[in-house]
Structure 1
Amino acid sequence: MICLRCGYCCDHLDVMIVDPRAIRADGTIDPQRTSAMVSKPSDTRCPHLEFRDGMAACTIHELACYQGSPCQLFVQFGPEDDICILGGYFRSIRTPDDPA
């Protein structure tokens, strides 16, 4: 899938994310945290999401704590070289509060 960098998945999907309070300065998970993952409800913006020049960007994408996370492992059905179908769907139902 080719991500459209719209940020809609990060806003609209109900998913477990890396707890921002569990991330150490070196980008790893604090082993003292009893739970490194927290629930991000649908229609709640992910705290790791920011927009740069109108494009969605994950602030932890390059950190060690992102590896193996549900976000990193997310896949959808369809050809690898085709554009994201979820982005198109979320665009069709977007509200005035949505980004982009």
Structure 2
Amino acid sequence: MGGSRTASSDITAWCSAVGLLSLILLLSVRENNASNDSVRGFQFSEKPCEEIYIVGEGETLHTIGDKCGDPFIVERNPHIHDPDDVFPGLVLRIAPFYFSRKV
């Protein structure tokens, strides 16, 4: 009977060790991925704007580009003939990827 308890204890200890090791490995991978979300001084971030953007009162293409992380709004929106003629309610297409400078 004593050998059965030892085997059971060994299995429990082994399963606990494997579980703990798996948890440590998983957390390590997640932390490593979070730190690798940067490329040459730029850090990827959550999308500050949706792909379709509606211009609000007082906004310019420059302020929208800064806010949304898309400096190429005019190139993505062929319906904009004059970049200075931006008005509230104008619908814009914004790039689906965003990045910001690392601080």
TM-score range (shorter-chain normalised) is under 0.3
TM-score by length of 2: 0.20
Q: Which has the higher helix share?
A: 2
User: Relative CO higher for 1 or 2, CA cutoff 8 Å, sep ≥ 6?
Assistant: 1
Q: Rg: which structure is higher?
A: 2
